[in-house]
A = this chain, B = another copy of it.
Amino acid sequence: MFTKGNLFKNCWKGAAIIARSTIGKIRGTYDQLSRTEKKVAQLALDNPAVVSEMTIKELASATGVSTATISRFVKRMDYSNYREFTMALAHTAAEMTPQQNSFPELAEGDSLATIANKTFRFSINSLRATNEALNEDDLARAVIKIINAKTVAFFGLGGSAVAALDGYHKFLRTPLNVTYHPDYDIQLMQAARMTAQDCAIVISHSGRNHETLEIVRELKRNGVAIIVITSYSGSELAQAAAVTFLSLTDEVKYRSEGMYSLISQMTILDSLFMMTVLRSSSRTKPVLTRVRDVIEQTRYDS
């Protein structure tokens, strides 16, 4: 029967062996080995990754010795069986392979999987950078403004419309009054209707889009609390804001339109949403549940 105790015992046994690299162990024992065993050792040293995938038979015929000799060889190396030996060999082989170097540009020759991997890596890096740039103080001021607002309106045009829509969607799950419309003219009218009791969340990658600035000026005239999410702290947009959050990203060839910043912006919005929920949870939770129920109804089961 197999028990947890057993499980952990095996685990430790393995750990003890891994402590010293397999290859080091072979090197260290090398001259104590017999002539045939040296052939095995040599192949394992030269090609650890390949050998680690071989069965004992394959290794036997590859080295021209019997399986018996190999079995004895691994025992002499202090492994309890051949399987343990190949696992350990694979392990050290993996550690030795050159580490993935830091991330270069996307290139036309890249395989599809490479393109995908790089895209994900870039996104992850953007999130990390954005996360590091956040500070408690800004977050606190933003959450207070959001929670106390009579209405929270989202503004975003072009690429940032996606983020604004996302923010609107998320905050629909709270009891707050939220507003968003994709059309510029309507956004501008909405801005004109707002007051000092309201809160505006404005998203713009560059911070220098004409129309977005027009909206911000209108908001400012009305004394609305403005929270800005942008990639450039120096822009007029950032200057006008009560609180500015920066979405940071390494700009890349083909990508000057801030595609990576989008997910950073959305994750900032997500953070704001989570804070709002957790800071006003007793008031919000019932609404959250109700929204969830509505969504469930559009599904054909459960």
Using a CB–CB cutoff of 8 Å, the interface residues on chain A facing chain B are 1-2, 6-7, 10-11, 13-15, 17-18, 49-50, 52-55, 58, 61-62, 83-84, 86-87, 90-91, 94-95, 106-117, 119-120, 123-124, 127-128, 130-131, 134-136, 139-140, 143, 158-159, 161-162, 165-166, 169-170, 173, 206, 208-211, 213, 254, 256-257, 259, 262-263, 266-267, 270-271, 273-275, 277-279, 281, 288, 291-292, 295, 298-301
Contact = CB atoms under 8 A, between A and B. Distances in A.
Contacts of A49: 11
A2 B110 CA distance: 13
A137 to B, nearest CB: 9
B136 A113 contact: yes
Contacts of A270: 119, 123, 259
Nearest to A258: B295
A121 to B, nearest CB: 8
Nearest to A165: B162
Nearest to A256: B292
B111 A120 contact: no
A267 B113 contact: no
B134 A116 contact: yes
A173 B72 CA distance: 44
Contacts of A158: 169, 295, 298
Q: What are the 6 closest A-B residue pairs judged by CB atoms, nearest first? A: A14-B111, A120-B131, A2-B61, A116-B271, A112-B139, A18-B113
A143 B112 contact: yes
A124 B116 contact: no
Scoring A62, A116, A288, A291 by chain B CB atoms within 10 A of each residue's CB, the highest score goes to: A116
Scoring A62, A95, A113 by chain B CB atoms within 10 A of each residue's CB, the highest score goes to: A113
A156 B131 CA distance: 29
B143 A131 contact: no
B14 A114 contact: yes
A17 B111 contact: yes
Contact of A120 (B50, B128, B136): B128
Contact of A112 (B140, B166, B277): B140
Contacts of A259: 170, 270, 273
